[in-house]
Amino acid sequence: MKLQELKLSVDALQLGVARETSSALSTELNELTEAGGKKFRPGMLFLMGHLFHLKDSLLATYARAVELTHLASLVHDDVIDESNTRRNHPTINSLKNNTTAILAGDYLLATVMRELAQANNTEILIDLTTAIRDLADGEWLQFDLKKKEEVKFQDLEEIAIKKTGSLIRWCCTTPAKLAKHDDIETMAYLGERIGLIFQMADDIVDGLTTSGKPAFLDILNGQINFVTLKLIEIYPELAKSVYRLKADPTQAIPWSKEQYQKAIEAVDTSINSERDKITSIFSGLCQKNNQPELLDIFEMMIAKIQSNYAGAL
């Protein structure tokens, strides 16, 4: 399998929902799916499927399910975060209202549950509901984290694995289960650590203006992330002022450009460490399944996550 073949598989994925509503809900959702996205999760699911010699015709239902579930979570996130744009497009809640956005997300999730039930694989359906529960739990933990007087790495790691890693875990375990692979635990670990990398990279992007959003939105919204936590670890003298900013966004930014750069570089080092571990695991899987050419694609997909902040290093 070549990278271009993977792209073709992802591009051929149908994400539209049937026009079965009396309201304009299905029309609005189809406009949203047509706006496109990175489709990282379907790409990962197809890649893992090819690792186990599965055909796209079998994988497509599950790739569609994970992308629609991810989209539903983004629609709900935009309500929670009061976001007006996503990927340079107006969000549903900004075009309509929060009620409409919540209903749209619920409709997407119901669509996914129905289609997976029709696929007649109860175990994989249960796995997805577990991932969705983890997602909700992670959001709740992140909200509660704003109230904590001290944030630890373990707090952020658990939230990242639940919020971001849960669906990527499903992308890794689903093809493995379809192929009757005997080590689902390793596949789950692989997905969760990719999710951790994803969140660490997002936290680096949070401090950049190149993302199209104002810099430091996390801390200004009362949220310590991996970069600001690393900043405190490297420069303990900044701890009190960082936590004051967390509590009161009108406070001045207490760190220098050079200090923040050091924190970014430290988080990048952590990402590279995680990347090396999961690449070693995937390399072993490629050898075991006689699919050595997939390793390059896997490495490119992880590198793509890091490319979002490459200009900051």
Pairing of strands 85-86, 89-90: antiparallel
pLDDT band at 88 (very low <50, low <70, confident <90, very high): low
- CA dist., res. 198 & res. 196, Å (int): 5
| Separation of alpha carbons 279 and 259, rounded Å | 30
Question: pTM of the prediction?
Answer: 0.93
Alpha helices in 52-183 (DSSP H): 56-81, 92-95, 98-119, 122-145, 153-160, 166-178
Task: Indicate the pLDDT class of residue 90, thresholds 50, 70 and 90.
Answer: low
pLDDT at residue number 267: 98
Distances (CA, A) of 298 to 23, 60, 302: 42, 19, 6
Give alpha helix (H) positions in 179-251.
184-206, 217-220, 226-234, 239-247
Mean pLDDT of 265-275: 98
Give the pLDDT score at 147: 92
Question: What CATH fold (topology level) applies to the domain 3-305?
Answer: Farnesyl Diphosphate Synthase (1.10.600)
User: Model confidence at 203, in pLDDT bands (50, 70, 90)?
Assistant: very high
Q: Which residue type occupies 32? A: L
With a cut of 90, say whether residue 93 has pLDDT above it.
Answer: no
pLDDT classification of 54: cutoffs 50, 70, 90: very high
Give the CA angle between residues 148, 150, 153 to the nearest 5°.
110
Residues contacting 244, CB < 8 A, separation 6+: 251, 254
| Enclosing H/E stretch for 147 | none
How confident is the model over 137-162, as a mean pLDDT?
96
What are the sequence ranges of the domains in the chain? 3-305
CA triplet 129, 171, 82: central angle to 5 degrees? 65
Model pLDDT for residues 97-106, shown as the tens digit of each residue = 777 888 888 9
Map residue 86 onto helix, strand or coil.
strand
- Spatial contact of 65 and 128, defined as CB atoms under 8 Å apart: yes
Cα torsion 185, 191, 195, 196 to 10°: value is 50
As to burial, measured by CB atoms within 10 angstroms (0-12 exposed, 13-18 middle, 19+ buried), residue 303 is: exposed
- What pLDDT does 195 receive? 98
**CA 305/CA 109 separation, integer angstroms:** 26
Compute the average pLDDT of residues 103-115.
Answer: 91
pLDDT for position 94: 62
| In the predicted structure, residue 10 carries a pLDDT above the cut 60 | yes
Q: What is the pLDDT of residue 35?
A: 72
Question: Per-residue pLDDT tens for 208-254?
Answer: 987 667 789 999 999 999 999 999 999 999 999 999 999 999 999 99
Under a CB-based contact definition with an 8 Å cutoff, are residues 129 and 198 in contact? no
